[in-house]
Amino acid sequence: MVVGLVETAVPAAKSTVSSAVKKPTTLSSDPIINVARGDPTIYEPYWKKMGDRCKVVIAGDEFMSYFCNAMNLCWFLLPELDNAIRTLHRVVGNAMVDDDRFIVVGNGSTQLFHALLYALSSSNMLEPINVVAAAPFYSSYPEETKFLRSELYKWAGDANCYDKDEPYIEVVTSPNNPDGSIRGTVVNREGGKAIHDLAYYWPQYAPITSKADHDAMLFTFSKATGHAGTRIGWAIVKDKVIAAKMVKFIEVSSIGVSREAQLRAAKVLGFIADDCRNPDVKGENFFEYGRRLMSERWGKLREMGMKSNGVFSLPKYLRDYCKFTGEYTDSNPAFAWLKSREGLNCENLLRDESKIITRAGPSFGGDSTYTRVSMLSRDVEFELLLERLAAVKGTVNGN
């Protein structure tokens, strides 16, 4: 059994012993715990508690056309989702969404990342434009940039080491995945362009200090609310030409985005915005719930780290004033950038001693003493993770 992975159900053959009693599957010391992926199942209890408040009913004759609004630049964007996105950003205060900004919806932010690489590149260039990100960077950026073997752009590595006098695209993730740091551009040269990935710039993960106001910003439904399976992301873009090229990319690659998925996203985002605007309603709004949960988890993880006898250490984050909450708050990143003491390979150590699967530091442009641990798993998995981490002695070299 692997905890944290989707298992494929296989029809069982008829048992010859019908009276056999099956023991329930439990999270014992035997299963592998997979915290390499950022599957946001942490939020399932909240949405289960909400019941039918985000229920969507679609009649059989609805959404049959390819088009949502042929007059809109992003012709496959559902007006309800456009409105919900702008409303939530205004309520939270984490991004500028004035009417002169263009919203482009995609099948997750991954498709939008590809669309932006296409839109920011030029077919007139003799060489592909360089794509860089400061290490540690999101581990999928190199793979996604290289995957199509495009002649328009190419992966050029760590932005901290970029010294070429050539056009470039810098990808900035803030708060950063994997280490949770607040980032800005590094290269800052003439001819440079930037993509700002703000997937984690929400109150449950970090203080909202200002409205982000960049040329191209990416957000994703999965990390904002936990609905990863809906596969909805959106870009906020200043330049109409860039937005139009992104729309063209999505048109060619998938002929738009599912309207059913967009409607669900609109319903959930609208529900959160309404809850935040009505603080007199009893109970926590979604962001209060998420911030409390993430804060509790980080508190437990840091407590475990203090008892690890120097085997592990964690990054420290400065408190900052959050304009959304109106108070000073801590950063509680979606991932823990775990560092082992020198001479140990952190990923191998956790795998070999405790059957914990993580994503290794070198995948992010870091070294092998680091590994990334997801903080977004279900409660029972997270508690078992803490139990396993506390038992690691660092006796396995793992190199």
| Residue 237, beta-bridge partner list | 102, 216
Tell me the DSSP string of 32-53: EEE-SS---GGGHHHHHHHGGG
The pLDDT, as a whole number, for residue 279 is 76
**Token pair listed for 13:** 């053959």
- The predicted structure's pLDDT at residue 278: 87
Residue 24: predicted pLDDT: 44
Burial class (CB in 10 A: 0-12, 13-18, 19+), 93: middle
Q: Are strands 356-357 and 32-34 parallel, antiparallel or unpaired?
A: parallel
Q: Give me the pLDDT at residue 29, please.
A: 56
CA distance 79 to 85: 10
d(CA 24, CA 290): 30
Q: 288: burial class by Cβ within 10 Å (0-12, 13-18, 19+)?
A: middle
Beta strands in the chain (DSSP E): 2-3, 32-34, 102-106, 129-133, 153-158, 168-173, 192-197, 216-220, 233-237, 312-313, 320-322, 327-329, 335-340, 356-357, 359-360, 370-374
pLDDT at residue 394 in the model: 82
Alpha carbons 262 and 266: distance in angstroms, whole number: 6
Residue 134, phi then psi, degrees to nearest 5: -75, 130
CA distance 143 to 133: 13
Q: Which SS3 state, helix, strand or coil, does residue 211 take?
A: coil
Query: Rounded to 10 degrees, what is the CA torsion of 325, 331, 335, 341?
Result: -170
DSSP structure string for 79-143: HHHHHHHHHHHHHHT-B---TTSEEEEESHHHHHHHHHHHHHS-TT-SSPEEEEEPSS--THHHH
Angle (CA) 135 137 143, round 5°: 120
Q: What is the pTM of this model?
A: 0.91
DSSP 348: H
For residue 43, what pLDDT is reported? 98
* pLDDT tens by residue, 7-30: 323 333 333 333 344 444 444 556
Q: What is the pLDDT of residue 372?
A: 98
What pLDDT does 349 receive? 95
- Looking at residue 191, its pLDDT comes to 87
- Evaluate whether 394 touches 59 at the Cβ level (below 8 Å): no
Burial class (CB in 10 A: 0-12, 13-18, 19+), 143: exposed
Return the pLDDT at 21.
43
pLDDT of res. 125: 85
Residue matched to tokens 């641990």: 373
Q: CB-based contacts of 339: which residues, under 8 Å, 6+ apart?
A: 312, 313, 314, 346, 369, 370
> Residues of the chain whose pLDDT is less than 50?
1-27
